[in-house]
Amino acid sequence: MRRIPADKVLRIVELRAGGAPVSSIAEELNIPRSTVYNYLAKVQAFEDEVFVEMLASELETFRRIYLRMGQLTPVSKQAELLAGLLRKYASMPEEFIAQAVLNAHWRRLKACRRRST
């Protein structure tokens, strides 16, 4: 992968979050489209890794609460809806469910970035 300065990487992410097409980003920064795609994939992989680490930590916390209390404290309506989805799709391979969670998380991040710009 072609190395580019950190400020260009940041600009790639900002422009893409703002809805700019890859071809426009490449043209503005004077870099190949393949470089833009590579860096966008790298950013997504990093954010996925952080999300999975945070999720693992949260799951461990709730596991300890559950083991100590025998039940969870009341949960939000969204947590109940998510639990229903997990039960509904429990027959799917765990890797597919995990990929769907990561995809939904990534789309939510992109939507939040668009709203903040």
pLDDT digits (tens, 9 = 90+) for 33-90: 999 999 998 988 888 888 889 888 888 888 887 788 776 667 788 888 888 998 999 8
Q: Which residue has the tokens 């990929």?
A: 99
Instruction: Give the model's pLDDT for residue 88.
Output: 92
Distance CA 22, CA 36 (A): 7
Instruction: Give the model's pLDDT for residue 77.
Output: 87
The two structure tokens encoding residue 97: 């469910």
| Domain residue spans of the chain | 6-116
Q: Is the pLDDT of residue 1 over 70?
A: no
| Better pLDDT: 1 or 39 | 39
DSSP secondary structure letter of residue 71: S
The two structure tokens encoding residue 75: 């949960």
User: 0.85 exceeded by the pTM?
Assistant: no
**Angle CA 78–76–83, to nearest 5:** 50
Distance CA 71, CA 68 (A): 8
